[in-house]
A and B are shown apart, each in its own frame.
Chain A
Amino acid sequence: AQSVTQLGSHVSVSEGALVLLRCNYSSSVPPYLFWYVQYPNQGLQLLLKYTSAATLVKGINGFEAEFKKSETSFHLTKPSAHMSDAAEYFCAVSRLNSGGYQKVTFGTGTKLQVIP
């Protein structure tokens, strides 16, 4: 079984401030972890992924995330928020299913508001 918990359904930051979106996961096997971003009325776009290589993962748009096994966390950060970062962010965990494909479980999402 696998699950993802995103702490905080809404996060507000000032433009230029640090962005920190929290994600904790539960998985019975070594996980693959992802962060996706979703803009209103659009599909999901992959920001970054962890697939058991480097624990600090860099993604698009200046975002990065660190895999911490001891804390079962995969928090998303960005040093300086831009207005264009306002969106909903989803953390996801996947594992190789018995059917031979990656079964993905998503968190409930965190809406990021950037205040000018």
Chain B
Amino acid sequence: DTGVSQDPRHKITKRGQNVTFRCDPISEHNRLYWYRQTLGQGPEFLTYFQNEAQLEKSRLLSDRFSAERPKGSFSTLEIQRTEQGDSAMYLCASSSYTGEESYEQYFGPGTRLTVT
């Protein structure tokens, strides 16, 4: 168990560019979550996958955002036409499907996005 990994750890981009982040969850975890954390705030839910199915999307996830989990393993989060307001830490988490462990989400180190 190597934990949840995210790549890249830091991304600086110019406004209007597209960016893509990757999350590799804990291998046996079926559930995967994306969160956004801005300065001075707690993480805010963006979207949830169970295996490859995206089952819920927050209203925070505008049409410029898209997330995929094509084979039920890793996931990508793409932001098109980035805006300065997109600057934040993007966190990925995963959890088990059943039992007591389903209550606990394991977080990756995050990708810090800076839009200039």
Contacts and interface: CB of A to CB of B under 8 A. Distances in A.
Contact of A44 (B48, B56, B91, B100): B91
Given A42-B109, A90-B42, A106-B43, A49 B56 contact: no
A27 interface: no
A108 B48 contact: no
Contacts of A41: 9, 109-110, 112
Interface stretch (A11-19, A60-68, A72-80, A91-99): A91-99
B104 A46 contact: yes
Q: Interface size bucket, B side?
A: 20 to 34
Contact of A51 (B4, B33, B103): B103
B104 A109 contact: no
Could you tell me the dominant secondary structure of chain A's interface residues? strand
Q: Interface size bucket, A side?
A: 20 to 34
A43 interface: yes
Interface centre among B33, B93, B107, B108 (most CB of A within 10 A): B107
A109 B56 contact: no
Contacts of B44: 106
Contact of A43 (B41, B95, B110): B110
B41 A101 contact: no
A41 B9 CA distance: 9
Interface string B87-116: 000010101000010111111111010000
Contact of B42 (A43, A99, A101, A109): A109
Nearest to A103: B45
A102 B103 contact: yes
Contact of A99 (B4, B9, B48, B102): B48
Interface string A31-58: 0101010000111111001010000000
Interface of B: 4, 6, 9, 31, 33, 40-45, 48, 50, 55-56, 91, 93, 95, 100, 102-110, 112
Interface of A: 4, 9, 32, 34, 36, 41-46, 49, 51, 90, 92, 94, 97, 99-109
